[in-house]
Chain A
Amino acid sequence: MDVTTTEPSSARKNYLNWDHSWQSWLFTLDHKRIGILYLISISAMFFLGAVAISLVRVELATPRGDLVESETYNKLFSAHGIIMVFFFLVPSIPATLGNFLIPLMIGARDLAFPRLNLLSWYLFTIGGGFAMTAFITGGVDTGWYFYTPYSSTYSNNQVALTIIGVFIAGFSSIATGVNFIVTIHKMRAPGLTWFRLPLFIWAHYATSVIIVLGTPVVAITLLLVLLERAFRIGVFDPALGGDPILFQHMFWFYSHPAVYIMILPSMGVISELMAAFTKKRVFGYSFIAFSSIAIALLGFLVWGHHLFTTGQSMYAGMVFSVLSFLVAVPSAIKVFNWTATIYKGQVEFTAPMLYALGFIGLFTIGGLTGLFLAAMAVDIHLHDTYFIVAHFHYIMVGGALFGYLGGLHYWWPKITGRMYPEGWAKLAAGITFVGFNLTFFPQFILGQMGMPRRYHFYPEEWQALNVLSSAGASILGLGYAIPLFYFLWSLRYGKLADANPWRAVGLEWRVPSPPPAHNFDEIPIVVWEAYEFVPEDADEAEQDREAMPGVPAGGHE
């Protein structure tokens, strides 16, 4: 297992420098390069989505709708939702970090289907192209969930183009999911049993199961909306005896589990960060592993809590309410186990760890406010208010995005072979945390006071909280912009990273940074458990201590 090397990455052929031509990127079958392609695409999408919402926040700084028209306002928040959900959050961690790391973590040379992997990126790009075309040529004002009959019958803007874009992006997601399932089942290195897998892999396995079971359902649902628009087949049209509520059932059958597609990979990242920066085995390994599976399965049984106010039978509502409460159990198992991992750990407050700690706090708030919404009676009051906006942003931004940023920092040296500047990164993590809470905490209060979401203007007395939220958004924007700059800066000027700058364990840290194109010179035989921090790791660490920033000397067991 002597693949760790300390020679500078530039002297060695790796997956980045073996070929610089553009063909070698656009036709690459290397999972690591496809991960990078995805990273670039989704980052672009993220900033487009952020631009849309910053206009919304500027608009909401004053009670009167004086910046944009109501219609434009609707198109802005719809664009924000569609981009962020379908083109950023769903692919974010799986398609970038997952793509890059799954083969490395399980000791494989690539994903099972490299060409399918490349196809998935192209589908994503084409789908994104359709959606962008729709936004440029008139926009779409249905919100990201395309409720019928507005989307199918009445809306006169680019619903069809957008739906085609989302539909195509869905297939990219399916391709990734199938690829991950097969890879995790069939490509693990000898000796790497299921319970020796990193929890990141478990989380991605659960995510892939949701993708495979859920995405086709939203595909057929959106296809029916398209057919409805084109041919009036009538399934969602009350005038033809169709039922618009059926759309909501079918849509949320995917789109609630889709929330777990977004958060589960992030939870996988947090497990890795917790182990790496406490230098301990994750507490309750198998509980965290199985809670991922439990969340994946329970996630399919709770969609009805989106329909508490939509004329669903009261008894169905009660069942959905109870089942929604049940999701809190595996989520809490994770949070408690992460917290227990910190106990007596050798905690290092690096930037990724700051994001991870932020995740735990914000995810807890987001999760607990979710219970308010799962309670039927309370939901009647809070439904479609800013409370729910704040709730799911605590999960999606405070949870999924913090995990994504934490993971990106943590594996940045592995991906690029360069360290990011730790000081700036800590600053950005702090700014993001403050900005995030300033943006979304006031929205809990606004929602509780009854401010409905998606409105263009609001009564004067809510201005203070809205201004606070808009101010927070600008700080949050700064928190996102700083990493963009220092990540790009580090590509050229960052300190060279050795194979294992964090003294973490895991197969991905046993190959050079950046890894060679074929990942492993020799497929490893795994004879150790997951997160097994043993003294020999510490000995190995002594040899190249100078190459690791941010780690206090002697901080190893």
Chain B
Amino acid sequence: MSVQVKQRRRGHVEPRPEGAVQEVAHQFEDIGQQNESYIVGMWSFLVTEIMFFGGIFMTYIVYRTKYPQTFTIASGELDWKAGFLNTLILLTSSLSMAFAVRNAQLGKRWRTLLCLGITILCAFGFLGVKTVEYSTKWAHHLVPGPNFHFSRHGGEQAAPADRGTSFVEDASPETSGGGAKPEGEIPQHEAQLFFGLYFASTGLHGVHVIIGIILLAYWGGLVQFNARAARDFIPIEMVGLYWHFVDIVWIFLYPLLYLIGSPKL
């Protein structure tokens, strides 16, 4: 990659089959300056995104420190398998996104389109799984609001002992301060806080996935229908950076929300 950057800095672009060159916008002197500006701009934007999600991760840290027992127990109600599936889906989409960027750099339009298509499909797959998860939470009264009621779904039949909840049991005497409550009986309002955070963070992430789909579809459309735009691989590279960022957010959200409790195997 560093070799490419050097080439661009000298004003050259990699030779591509179509023999096309990028167009330089009026404010730039040469293509190297333009490409570098776009990439630096995208990274600066991603810094703002990190600070944006940083706010919500900070909130998570504060309340997980404050209510550790609630968080571990409430987390057990999330479907870690669905989350795992979604992690796989997003990682796959990142792979195809990386291929899309490479193919765009090489000027291979149809391969670029194919890869972008796979990425979009994965994104829809992710949203589909998420929809199922959300509706399950709704059915179990786990959406914050007047109907919120936390009960250990599926946990009633299984005795606490045979769930392998060593983490919770170890943690509760030291951390929960106010006397060890029977497992599963956590204050409703604290559970609501956990699910509030769950919906806020995964919801925000979902919005970013939707924006990603729109961007991917837009640039995919340009690659398909606009030969001039197809020559410029930098927008695809920028969308790629965005998409990997969205992935990374999920990589953090998944363990923090789904895996801190006692997964039901």
Contact = CB atoms under 8 A, between A and B. Distances in A.
A235 B59 contact: yes
A111 B27 contact: yes
A264 interface: no
B27 A114 contact: yes
A182 interface: yes
A239 B189 contact: yes
Contact of A233 (B50, B58, B196): B196
B78 to A, nearest CB: 16
Contact of A234 (B45, B53, B192): B192
Interface in A493-538: 518, 523
B46 to A, nearest CB: 10
Nearest to B52: A216
Interface stretch (B10-18, B34-42, B112-120): B34-42
A99 B58 CA distance: 34
B193 A234 contact: yes
Contacts, number: 129
Contacts of A109: 26-27
Interface in A297-344: none
B7 interface: no
Contact of A182 (B37, B55, B187, B197): B37
Interface string B49-68: 11111111011001100110
A241 B47 CA distance: 31
Contacts of B44: 177-178, 181-182, 212
Residue from B27, B40, B41, B189 with most neighbouring chain A CB atoms (10 Å): B27
A45 interface: no
Contacts of A68: none
A168 interface: no
A110 B26 contact: yes
> Would you call the interface of chain B mostly helix, strand, loop, or mixed?
helix
Contacts of A217: 51-52, 54-55
Contact of B51 (A181, A182, A213, A234): A213
A220 B48 contact: no
Given A110-B26, A113-B41, A185-B40, A174 B48 contact: yes
Given A111-B27, A186-B37, A232-B144, A240 B192 contact: yes
Contacts of A231: 144-145, 196, 199
A234 B45 CA distance: 29
B67 A186 contact: no
Interface residues of B, number: 40
B189 A235 contact: no
A224 interface: yes
A234 B144 contact: yes
Contacts of A266: none
Residue from B33, B36, B44, B145 with most neighbouring chain A CB atoms (10 Å): B44
B29 interface: yes
Residue from A113, A227, A231, A234 with most neighbouring chain B CB atoms (10 Å): A234
Nearest to A523: B29
A382 to B, nearest CB: 29
Nearest to A250: B55
A242 interface: yes
Contacts of B48: 174, 177-178, 212-213, 215-216
Contacts of A111: 27
A243 interface: yes
B55 A235 contact: no
A216 B55 contact: yes
8 contacts: A113-B41, A182-B37, A212-B48, A232-B144, A233-B197, A234-B193, A239-B189, A240-B192
Interface of A: 103, 108-114, 116, 174, 177-179, 181-183, 185-187, 212-217, 219-221, 223-224, 227, 231-235, 239-243, 246, 250, 518, 523
